[in-house]
Amino acid sequence: MSKTNKVIIQVCLCGAGTKKDKAPTVPYTADELAEQIVACAKAGASVAHIHVREDKEVNGKLEIGYKSMSLQKFTEAVEKTREACKAAGVDIVINLTTSGGEYEDVKRIQHLAALLPEMCSFDPNSINWDNSYIFENSPRFLNYLGAEVVKTGVKPEFEVFDTGHIDSVDYYVKKHNIPEPAHIQFIMGVGGSMPATTENLAFLAGKLPKGATWSVSGIGRAHLPMMLAGLALGCDGLRVGLEDNIYFSRGVIATNVQLVERAVELSKLAGREIATADDAREILGITRHTLRDETTHPATWKPE
């Protein structure tokens, strides 16, 4: 059970794969991200999980909104988000992805020291994603990432897709002395990983490291059932957004704000309070970073 009555609502705005031809509401650009993050913060989100996109030639064809780990794109997104939130008088914890399997290790990590987000994703294992491609997180990369989150003071969000991943979280936390308690994000319903059932979520929650906080998301049609199950089990957070699910109801394309609003409503129906960004920092043990004149600075990590 959660140590507090407050629920952290995290919005995952676009991910690496959701495209506008399927969900026209998904943001691609820094301006779109910043605008939607402000709206989601006003609706009750306290954490924003950010991927970035770029236009790129792939196999001789220009792909619009292709997944990216470009430091320039991350810098634009973070700076515009910080500026927009300041102008709107809202606060949100920025959580940057490190999930860029096709990119070399340094590109997956360089934005942490450069931009000092308060959080980042940490996928502690590789999986055969939806039985179609390798979602690669090699031990080599994870050791680099473990060292970097300690060096920069960025809070890792361990994304757990299956039972054995919890053992991997414990391994990297101990090996790199990553500050505890760990924060676990259960991602339920990816093909080839843990199916999104209440029984499976209850099992995973029962295997959490001592003192760990946890959140849950269900992929696609599992989105709503996993929110309800998480609230029933006393989760610390709910993850929503177009990265994981594009529908608000059958055949109706959602917006990120709508998904946040629904998570807020369900949490309140469950008798829970909605965490502010400062509440989220306290629950997760996050210390605000002080940036040097709000500018970037060189990464501290170098590849061996």
Contacts 24+ apart (CB under 8 A), 175-181: 175/143, 175/146, 176/143, 176/146, 176/147, 176/149, 176/150, 177/150, 178/146, 178/149, 178/150, 179/150, 179/155, 179/285, 180/209, 180/211, 180/212, 181/209, 181/210, 181/211, 181/212, 181/213, 181/285
User: pLDDT for 155-168, tens place per residue?
Assistant: 999 999 999 999 99
* pLDDT above 70 for 302: no
Cα–Cα distance, 73 to 71 (Å, whole number): 5
Other residues' Cβ atoms within 10 Å of the Cβ of residue 131: 10
What are the φ/ψ torsions at residue 244 (nearest 5 degrees)? -100, -25
- Dump pLDDT digits (tens) for 178-205: 999 999 999 999 999 999 999 999 999 9
Question: Domains along the chain?
Answer: 6-284 (3.20.20.70)
Tokens, residue 109: 């990590």
The yes-or-no verdict on residue 40 having pLDDT over 70 is yes
The per-residue pLDDT of the chain, averaged, comes to: 93
Whether the pLDDT of residue 296 is over 90: the answer is no
pLDDT for 289: 64
* Confidence label for 298 from pLDDT (cuts 50, 70 and 90): very low
